[in-house]
A and B are shown apart, each in its own frame.
Chain A
Amino acid sequence: MSTPELDSKATRTRQDAWAAPVSKMTVGQVPEGAMNLNVEGRQPVSPLQGFGQLWQKTFRVRLSGLEMSPEEVMRIWRENFPKFQPPENRFYPQMTGISPGAVVLINAKVPPLPGMPSMLPVSTGVMVLYADEEMFTVMCPEGHPLSGWNNFRVFEEDGTVVAEVQEMSRASDPLYELFNRFLGSSAQQDRIWTHVLTQLAAHFNLKGQVTMTKTLIDPRVQWSEAKNISKNAGIRTMFYLLGTPFRWIGNSFKADGK
């Protein structure tokens, strides 16, 4: 039987699993090599604020034969979170790592059309909404391709440790929805989570078979959220990169004028 003191400690710890309330994301120190273009000052967005259809996608891999607890697997997953991403999806956690309230910057490249190589840059990020010993959740900022969150969870099922990624999101704006439905972005996202779980299994020297289930929770689009396109991280990243030579020339003049 547990003592009231222990119960109180457990409750405090579990409440600490949630990020502190914020209305806007703050990045703080930008990790070396990362771009912070579309995260600082942005509001976190749930599946309710996006434009497109609301999907729940669940990816799972059974880590058969692994002699570890779900908590140990989760600890390793959190510590190696960027390492398990595909090469075109670079994650830059802050010094605090995957901890509640931390921001993880993402510099990604996406294919412009199905079958083409990933070449369109998107600078974005996510905020860790929740993190405990068995799961963590990241929430997207305004302008991110998806409006919503991803759960990363490890649990035991029939004596086998199972790792799961569950995405619950809408495309943030009409352009992202177009890419999702007709230009392969949704399938690209599916490949990312399949890659992540395959890499997690490979970390334990296992060959994991990733399964996916998709549920269309809301087939409607939300036209009231079409305005989100003004914060589209892909468009803003593209304009930022196109402006790089002009900023460089401008900075040179400023330096010469001193």
Chain B
Amino acid sequence: MSKTNIVVTDRKAGEDVHILDIQGEINAYAENELMDAYTQASSNNARWIILNFSDLEYMNSSGIGLLVTMLIRVQRQNQKLLAFGLTDHYKQIFELTRLSEAIIIHDTETAALAATNGAHS
């Protein structure tokens, strides 16, 4: 298994909305990439963090643990965490691990952005 095989890019998608585009694998070695991107988004006053899983190649259970850590940080900063682009397989994993109870999952980027707009209005 490869070690670090992930690129996470922070993309501003609105006044206080940032999308983290995830490309590659989320495993135990992805912590720095993932958290650095989150920190960058937060330092730019993000209130909404949206995870884009469209280019996710694989995620193991260590990866799920990283998402829990990120979720707690997000909650402590009074931010909201959303996600889109998950395959059916990973949607099921989110349900099994009960992450879906805390991370709002949308099918598309448009739907995720609409959710942030709806909350703004």
Contact = CB atoms under 8 A, between A and B. Distances in A.
A and B bind: yes
Interface of A: 11, 14-15, 17-19, 21-22, 44-49, 54, 56, 129-130, 132-135, 137, 139, 149, 151, 153, 155, 166, 168, 217-218
Interface of B: 1, 28, 58, 60-62, 65, 68-69, 71-72, 76, 89, 92-93, 95-99, 101-102
A207 B60 CA distance: 30
Given A18-B93, A168-B65, A48 B58 contact: no
B61 A47 contact: no
B1 A44 contact: no
A252 B26 CA distance: 57
A158 B7 CA distance: 24
A75 to B, nearest CB: 15
A11 B87 CA distance: 13
A149 to B, nearest CB: 7
B11 to A, nearest CB: 26
B25 to A, nearest CB: 10
B98 to A, nearest CB: 5
A48 B99 contact: yes
A168 B72 CA distance: 12
A47 B95 CA distance: 14
B76 A218 contact: yes
A149 B61 contact: yes
A46 B101 CA distance: 10
A18 B95 CA distance: 12
A56 B1 contact: no
Contacts of B65: 56, 149, 151, 166, 168
